[in-house]
Amino acid sequence: MTTVENRDDSSTESLQGVLERIATGDRAAEAALLTRFQRGVRALVVRHCRPGDVVVDDIAQDVLSAVLVRVREGGIRDAQTFPAYLQTMIVRATTAEYRKRRARGESLPIDVADGLPDRSDPPADLDSQRMAAQLRNLIADLPVARDRALLSRFYLEEHSKEDICVSMGIADDHFHRVVHRARVRFRALLAQAGIVSLAGRDK
Amino acid sequence: MTETPTTTAMSSWLEEAWLGRYLDRALSPDERDWFEAYMLDKVHLIEQVEVDNALRDAAHAAAPLSVAPDRPAEPGAPPSRSPRRHLARVLALAASFVLGVGLTWIGFDRLPSGVPASNPTRIVYDTLRAQASPPLVERGDPQAPWIIVDIAVPSGAQILSAQAVVAGEPTMLPIPAVSSEGFATYLLPIAWQGRTKLRFDLRLHGRTEKTELELMF
């Protein structure tokens, strides 16, 4: 890596200050920390969970709560290491959740839903259905069947990029181009459909 | 890629390069951990991750995405295992499993006797997910006394009960295991075709309310 810009120095210093203030009991600083990281934490929890898992918000909240307690106690003082600590907490929490399910002999997210309180969320369900519909449109619009298969394998069957490229006989750059275009197009379709809540948070 | 401290911002083009590899799942575990820590508070990167997450969730909610190509593949494209064929193999296994369960359950005198054909007709219902669509019928051996019924179940749904109403007479069905592909599979007598309703009570995303669905086949 040769090109590094220090355009984020101010936020680094700010984060350092936020951590220090939290350790002194500053509740406003706690709010600032949560505002800064909660969206990223949720996105990564989603990333590490199975698709559509209902436990995402619980895990994200647990991670943020645990980290906040740790900062309050003065256990995390270095802003340089804070993001890595937070990321580790996310990975551990999601791993622990699925390990727990395996130990209980559960294999599907729906099993966990049994033990959770009722969390009916019609708007989120509606968004999910609309997103699925938009994805069908996107897939249907792809002119090349091979690209449709590529997207299906990558997002539905979750094959690795390498496996897909080898088995379908396509180059890395073609793979990236197809997937990248799909993301761009999908985002546009969601915007057209008025679905601005990509993560259920940013309506 | 060489790593920098997570609190030092990279140039935009380098961020894009990292993000591209991250979204393509092409980073090593160490690289992935580092980049995730790096982008945690960078909204412009998180937004793109959210789009990718939404795409993945939608793919599962809309599955099966591509039952059959409606346009021919590009000339010269190497033959590849289609997702549908893969799915069919999984479902064949699932059907075998259900048959094993079913033979203990199907102790009714109205069921046809005989060994199931190796290639019975399969009907795939995608009605319970996203948009309504007609069932997909994959013709099999017309002599087969059985029919495989695959029902795509919404992501996060739990089947609470299943019932077949054959010529007006209700019969409880065993609750099937939902496959990793999101399908519930039944092996049913061919004689039931055209005079049977299948009813399911589902629980979606932990909701206590039940949803009754009715399928004709």
Residues A111 and A136 in one domain: no
Nearest to A13 by CA among A79, A96, A90, A101: A79
Residues A14 and A62 in one domain: yes
- Is A13 a member of any domain? yes
DSSP string covering A103-116: HTT--SHHHHHHHS
CB B155 within 8 A of CB A52: yes
Out of A87, A120, A146, name the one closest to residue B207 (CB): A120
ipTM value greater than 0.90: no
Q: What is the DSSP letter of B144?
A: -
Instruction: Give me the residue label for tokens 């199931």.
Output: B116
Instruction: Give me the residue label for tokens 């008025």.
Output: A194
Distance CA A202, CA B212 (A): 32
The answer to whether the Cβ–Cβ distance between B6 and A83 falls below 8 Å is yes
The answer to whether the Cβ–Cβ distance between A152 and B130 falls below 8 Å is no
Residues A134 and A100 in one domain: no
Residues A144 and A95 in one domain: no
From chain B, the residues in CB contact with A120 under 8 A are 205-209
Q: What are the tens digits of pLDDT across the range A139-150?
A: 766 667 777 778
CB A94 within 8 A of CB A76: no
The answer to whether the Cβ–Cβ distance between B59 and A121 falls below 8 Å is no
Distance from CA of A74 to the nearest CA of B (A): 20
From chain A, the residues in CB contact with B73 under 8 A are 144-146
Out of B5, B47, B156, name the one closest to residue A113 (CB): B156
The domain tally of chain A equals: 2
Name the residue range of residue A59's domain: 9-115
Residues A108 and A173 in one domain: no
Nearest to B178 by CA among A52, A56, A95: A52
Chain B residue with the nearest C-alpha to that of A55: B205
> Does any CB of chain B come closer than 8 Å to the CB of residue A177?
no
Q: What is the pLDDT of residue B83?
A: 39
Residues A39 and A81 in one domain: yes
What is the phi/psi pair of residue B201, to 5°? -105, 125
Residues A82 and A33 in one domain: yes
Distance CA A198, CA A43 (A): 10
Candidates B42, B48, B66: best to mutate against A (most CBs of A within 10 A) is: B66
Coil/strand/helix, residue A121:
coil
Residues A87 and A174 in one domain: no
The answer to whether the Cβ–Cβ distance between A136 and B54 falls below 8 Å is no
Task: Give residue limits of the domains in chain B.
Answer: 12-61, 83-216
Residues A59 and A143 in one domain: no
Q: Which residues make beta-bridge pairs with B161?
A: B201
- Is A24 a member of any domain? yes
Q: What is the pLDDT of residue A135?
A: 73
Out of B49, B55, B130, name the one closest to residue A186 (CB): B55
Predicted confidence (pLDDT) at residue A40 exceeds the cutoff of 80: yes
CB B185 within 8 A of CB B96: no
Domain boundary among A52, A85, A115: A115
Q: What are the pLDDT tens digits along chain B (217 aa)?
A: 444 556 678 888 899 999 999 998 889 999 999 999 999 999 999 999 998 888 888 777 665 543 333 333 333 333 333 333 333 333 333 333 333 333 323 333 333 444 444 567 777 776 555 445 667 777 777 777 777 787 777 766 777 777 787 777 777 777 777 766 677 777 777 777 777 778 777 777 666 556 555 556 5
